[in-house]
Amino acid sequence: MLIAHLSDPHLRPRGTFYQGLVDSNAMFEAAVSHLNSINPKPDVVILSGDVVDEGTPAEYVVAREFLGTIEAPVLVIPGNHDKREAFRACFLDQDYIAPSGPLHFIAPNHGPVRIIGLDITVPGEHHGDMDDAACDWLTNALALEADRPTIVMMHQPPFKSGIPYIDEYNCRRGQRLAEIIARYPAVERILCGHIHRFMQVRFGGTMLCTAPSTTSAIALRLWPDAEPASFIEPPALLLHQWRPDTGLVTHHVPIGSFRGPLPFF
């Protein structure tokens, strides 16, 4: 089972740049084009939030159009830049989208790995929160097939990365999540967005990865009073391949055209 993972495209109305500076739509088109050329084809694509930048209906029109060019089925969760009800209205015809409340889901079957979307966004805020309702929902969801290999996808990461200006807006009360996950060893991975960088950390007895954005990267500044900044680094996506003999293998895949193939050396 092959799962492609995109994050934080921050799509904008046509002709508009992300923060007035970056053509995030063109960068997402490049990501989709790269994704559609992957061999073998992914069974499913997951998108870990910040589908659009301001949450306007015009942006969601673009989102539907662009996501429609992805050849595999797509599963999305909202990020802090999405607006919950506009997001729901945009994707309501998809069978995994909840008709009310947080946009949690347990995906229909796309292969041996079960994919759970956990919506820990707090409407109107940039941080996330593992509140009582999210804890209850996740506990029940995991218990439904406790022994099945599982991915939990969420937007804001529940840990401190060391980059101060993003840690301020992480998922609060992450320890509660760690305690739940620790009871379900079949959770292969927690996958997050938000941080616009690839990171890995041990969390709740499993492995947690954050995906890079298809557009900007948050500056890697690991000192306490660092000035917030972004860079246009080479964009990337993640590929997670489930292998019965190994488990879930995660590949970091730069987006673009590169010299090669050259001989194997």
Judged by CB, which is closer to Fe ion: 48, or 241?
48
Q: Which is nearer to Fe ion, 50 or 188 (CB)?
A: 50
CB of 197 to Fe ion, least distance (A): 11
CB nearer to Fe ion: give 21 or 146. 21
- List strand residue ranges (DSSP E) for the chain, in order: 2-6, 44-47, 74-76, 105-106, 114-117, 128-129, 150-154, 171-172, 187-192, 199-203, 206-210, 217-218, 230-231, 236-243, 247-254
- Which of helix, strand or coil describes residue 241? strand
Whether the Cβ atoms of residue 114 and residue 105 lie closer than 8 Å to each other: no
Binding footprint of Fe ion on the chain (CB under 5 A): 8, 50
Q: How far is CA 249 from CA 26, 111, 243, in A?
A: 29, 15, 8
Start-to-end C-alpha separation, the chain: 29
Between residues 103 and 187, which has the closer beta carbon with respect to Fe ion?
103
In whole angstroms, how close is the CB of 48 to Fe ion at the nearest point? Answer: 9
Which one, 130 or 166, has the nearer CB to Fe ion? Answer: 166
The minimum distance between CB 15 and Fe ion, in angstroms, equals 21
- Determine the Cα–Cα distance for residues 110 and 44; give it in Å rounded to an integer: 7
In this structure, are residues 237 and 254 in contact, taking their beta carbons and an 8 Å threshold?
no
Give the three-state DSSP class for 147: coil
Q: Which letter does DSSP use for residue 248 in this model?
A: E
- Sign of the alpha-carbon torsion through 8, 13, 19, 25: positive
State in angstroms the smallest separation of the CB of 218 from Fe ion.
8
Q: Which is nearer to Fe ion, 22 or 207 (CB)?
A: 22
Q: How far is the CB of 194 from Fe ion (least distance, A)?
A: 6
- Least distance to Fe ion from the beta carbon of 181, Å? 23
With 0-12 CB in 10 A as exposed, 13-18 as middle and 19+ as buried, what is 190? Answer: buried
Query: Which of 114, 155 has the CB closer to Fe ion?
Result: 155
Report phi then psi at 255, rounded to 5: -95, 130
Shortest CB 111 distance to Fe ion, Å: 27
